[in-house]
Amino acid sequence: MIEGGRLRRALLGTTATVVLTTALVGVAPTAVAADARSQQWYLDAMGAEDIWKKSTGAGMTVAVIDTGVDPDTPSLKGKVLKGWDAAEAKGDETDDYDGHGTTIAEIIVGSGAQGGLRGLAPDAKVIPYRVSNTELQNEQTVNAFDMSEAIKAAADSDAKIINVAFGSDYYSEEELESVQYAHKKGKLIFAASGNGALKGNKKQYPASYPEVVAVGATTQGGVVADYSQHGDYIDLAAPGSQIPGYCDKSLTKYCVSDGTSFSAALASASAALIWSVHPDWTGSQVLRAMFESAGRGADWKPGTVSTKAGHGVIRPNAHINRGIGKPGDANISPLTNEPTGGAAAGGATPSTAPSANPNPSASASTSADAPSATASTQAPDGKSTSGAPVAGSSESAAGTESGGGSNMGVIIGAVAGVIVLAGVGVVIARRRRAA
């Protein structure tokens, strides 16, 4: 167990649950119909079928830093590459101790086989990096620096996109250093903003670091969810309510729940779709196109950034099928307005062969250059908003996704809504949870 106990959580909220026959993770899950795809309302709202005519995320790899990813679910067969168990707990990165990580992977790259979840970027692949949540920390001895080391390892992999659906209330110098390392290598890091808007709305990490794309949640009705955390660090919003995912670690049935974890996963998948179409672009260019193509209401003042939805609601279809959103400068980050390392080339690369059984755990060793100093819990000034003023809470992000004729109003309605969905995590002696 970690000394002091980190408050770290997966960013899933509490919602009614619907159980399906194949399982999804969420808080207070509601059983769903037999076919999980029928519950994935957001794919229809985003015009996924039209997007897939031009991009399925082929050639892209997303690092999933979470509770582990089981490569043997029908929807993930052949899609999970060799990763690393940064938690150093029992088992390896393919042993999902909660079900949350496998859900996130399916939402990003799932094939939908045998009634499973269909990913928004179904031809992309994932690399799992397992980290611990508070519960696991209370049960086993784990690596106290697993989050920062997982981010650094992901930065050195072939993955151009890093998804973190975990959150914590505490700032960490070690974690920030790993985030900055990944950012300088041209990686895009998407993190759940947190689900505690109604419980103090305390800033979450890693979402609040300047170099991380913080993603809030919207409802099926198109407004920012009341649980979705808000602040000047929010960059984008994406569907996060009434999303199917595994009910628990048994991975036998899906449940419907809410959480910014889902929103971060959909933002990561959107980046994969766009990057697949423009393989010569840098992460900065992909993100700039995402910002410029995001859904915003008619009353949204130009040049402003919402404290609830950031630049707006993700609309990969608007870019892929209608060309909205320009790449801009290849090496200037739209997050910090500072130079980055350019193309996300990556260093040490994982095997390109999919992981089969939760057998091999050739885990990357904890290197000497991994952050090891005591974590500071005092965060510096908030995330830069690229010089754009922060809008108030009354703006709307209504809009239509017409590329291919799909109505996008359901997730791009009054984006100004309430607050954000999940909690985000950090390291040493802190509680950590899924968002």
Span 141-155, pLDDT tens digits: 999 999 999 999 999
pLDDT at 357: 37
The residues annotated with a catalytic role in the active site are 66, 100, 261
pLDDT at 389: 43
CB within 8 Å of 43: residues ≥ 6 apart: 37, 49, 118, 120
Is 267 within 8 Å of 314 (Cβ atoms)?
A: yes
Give the amino acid at 143.
N
Cα-based torsion angle of the residue sequence 101, 102, 103, 108 in order, rounded to the nearest 10 degrees: 90
DSSP 365: P
Give the amino acid at 288.
R
Pairing, β 243-246 against β 254-257? antiparallel
pTM of this prediction? 0.80
Count how many Cα atoms sit within 13 Å of the Cα of residue 386 in the half-sphere of its side chain. Answer: 21
Confidence band, pLDDT 50/70/90 cuts, at residue 375: very low
Pairing, β 125-130 against β 17-18? unpaired
366 pLDDT exceeds 90? no
pLDDT at 11: 62
Q: If we measure between CA atoms, which residue out of 197, 202, 234 comes closest to residue 313?
A: 234
Q: What are phi and psi of 10, to 5 degrees?
A: -75, 140
Confidence band, pLDDT 50/70/90 cuts, at residue 298: confident
**pLDDT average, residue stretch 373-389:** 41
Higher pLDDT pick, 387 / 125: 125
Least confident of 156-160, 219-223, 282-286, 347-351: 347-351
CB within 8 Å of 20: residues ≥ 6 apart: 31, 32, 33, 34, 35, 36, 39, 115, 244, 253, 254, 255
Is 209 within 8 Å of 175 (Cβ atoms)?
A: yes
Evaluate the CA torsion angle 179, 183, 187, 192 in order and state its sign. positive
pLDDT at 342: 56
286 pLDDT exceeds 60? yes
431 pLDDT exceeds 70? no
Partnered with residue 236 across adjacent β-strands are 215
**pLDDT average, residue stretch 332-344:** 82
Longest dimension (CA), the chain: 54
Span 176-227, pLDDT tens digits: 999 999 999 999 999 999 999 999 999 999 999 999 999 999 999 999 999 9
332 pLDDT exceeds 90? yes
Pairing, β 431-434 against β 166-167? antiparallel
Confidence band, pLDDT 50/70/90 cuts, at residue 299: confident
Identify the top-confidence range among 278-292, 327-341, 413-427. Answer: 278-292
Higher pLDDT pick, 381 / 97: 97
H or E element, residue 127: strand 125-130
289 pLDDT exceeds 70? yes
Averaged pLDDT score across all residues of the chain = 79
Is 100 within 8 Å of 21 (Cβ atoms)?
A: no
pLDDT at 413: 31
Span 28-50, pLDDT tens digits: 445 554 579 999 999 999 999 99
406 pLDDT exceeds 60? no
The C-alpha atoms of residue 76 and residue 234 are separated, in whole angstroms, by 30
250 pLDDT exceeds 90? yes
Number of CB atoms found within 10 A of residue 138's CB: 14
Q: If we measure between CA atoms, which residue out of 10, 291, 282, 241 comes closest to residue 131?
A: 10
**pLDDT average, residue stretch 370-381:** 37
The C-alpha atoms of residue 407 and residue 219 are separated, in whole angstroms, by 15
pLDDT at 414: 31
Span 58-87, pLDDT tens digits: 999 999 999 999 999 999 999 999 999 999
Higher pLDDT pick, 16 / 176: 176
Partnered with residue 295 across adjacent β-strands are 313
276 pLDDT exceeds 60? yes
Higher pLDDT pick, 43 / 403: 43
Confidence band, pLDDT 50/70/90 cuts, at residue 432: low
Give the DSSP per-residue string, 205-263: BTTTSTTSEEEEEE-TTSSB-TTB--STTEEEEEE-SSEEEESSTT-SBEEEE--HHHH
Is 99 within 8 Å of 59 (Cβ atoms)?
A: no
